[in-house]
Amino acid sequence: MHTLRRSAALLALSVGTVASLPALAVDELHYNQISLRAEVSQEVARDLMIVTLYTEEQNSDPAKLAADVSTTMNKALAQAKEVKDITLRQGSRNSYPIYDTKGQKITGWRERAELRLESSDFAALSKLTGELLTDLKMGGMDFAIATPTRKASEDALLKEAVTAFKSRAQLATDALGGKSYKIVNLNLNSNGYPQPYMRGPMMKAAAMDSAPVTPEVEAGTSQVSMTADGAIEVLMQ
């Protein structure tokens, strides 16, 4: 009986010792760990021009109204397709009733249709926009960072962020009198590229011969950044 109790006690002690090992391993994993953060940034040119044009008409006959709007938009699309390196997208198209002063009887219909143009060739798109403004109205002029430019800047910033993180890690190691360090974890995040930058169109003075007015463009730049957040473990001498 005493032998059985002694064996049970030894077994309990052994199990308890094994169970404590993961806890010790966790404690050792976080020994001399430091959280660090490094951030790098750069100015990136907004190299994509986005123009939104629209037509808006009204008529008492909804079928005639739809036909007139379609004719105007089809003419603009055909004209835009003749220009190279311009992406065309048809935006929203909506129609809604017009009521009398009492708000009870429908007296007509109004319809609006949009055309969205995108290009990295600012000169070509500006010229086309000026020509289309003879039939359409300006809805907005935006500037964004094109996808290839965004990817290239992300790659460059990622490398710079890692280098900055390693430099800061070495400074922390030296300050603690450590021999070396190892990276426990590292997260790289872009602050997100800005949404298209909207700028109201500025028009050049019209020529004496009433030539189409060409919008001036000033795209500017956006500051984008990449952060490196992580933790290192300093190995002491």
Please give the full DSSP string across 88-101, using - where no structure is assigned.
EEEEEEEEEEEE-T
Evaluate the CA torsion angle 221, 146, 73, 113 in order and state its sign: negative
* Strand, coil or helix: 210: coil
Contacts of 97 (CB under 8 A, 6+ apart): 106, 108, 109, 110
> Which of the two residues, 136 and 17, has the higher pLDDT score?
136
Q: What is the average per-residue pLDDT within 113-133?
A: 95
The tens digit of pLDDT for each residue in 11-20 reads 343 444 444 4
- State the pLDDT confidence band at 194, using cuts at 50, 70 and 90: low
Query: What's the mean pLDDT when you consider all of the chain?
Result: 82
- State the pLDDT confidence band at 32, using cuts at 50, 70 and 90: confident
Highest-confidence segment of 10-24, 26-40, 151-165, 208-222: 151-165
The tens digit of pLDDT for each residue in 197-235 reads 445 444 433 333 445 556 666 678 888 899 999 999 999
Answer yes or no: same fold for 31-47+146-195+219-237 and 49-144: no
Q: What pLDDT is stored for residue 200 in this prediction? A: 47
* Strand, coil or helix: 227: strand
Helix H or strand E segment including 159: helix 147-175
Given a contact cutoff of 8 angstroms between Cβ atoms, the answer to whether 196 and 50 are in contact is: yes
Q: What pLDDT is stored for residue 166 in this prediction? A: 96
Has residue 62 got a pLDDT over 60? yes
Percentage with pLDDT > 90 across the chain:
65
Q: What pLDDT is stored for residue 30 in this prediction? A: 59
- Write down the pTM of the prediction: 0.67
| Nearest-angstrom CA–CA distance, 188 and 84 | 38
Domain boundaries, the chain: 31-47+146-195+219-237, 49-144
Q: Among 17-26, 43-52, 71-80, 173-182, which is the least confidently predicted range?
A: 17-26
Strand bridging mode 215-216 / 202-203 = antiparallel
Q: What pLDDT is stored for residue 204 in this prediction? A: 39
Q: What pLDDT is stored for residue 202 in this prediction? A: 42
- State the pLDDT confidence band at 152, using cuts at 50, 70 and 90: very high
Q: What is the average per-residue pLDDT within 100-128?
A: 93
Quickly tell me which residue has 């009198």 as its tokens. Answer: 177
Any idea which fold 31-47+146-195+219-237 has? Translation Initiation Factor IF3 (3.30.110)
Tokens linked to 70: 């379609």
CATH 1.10.357.10 is held by the domain 49-144: no
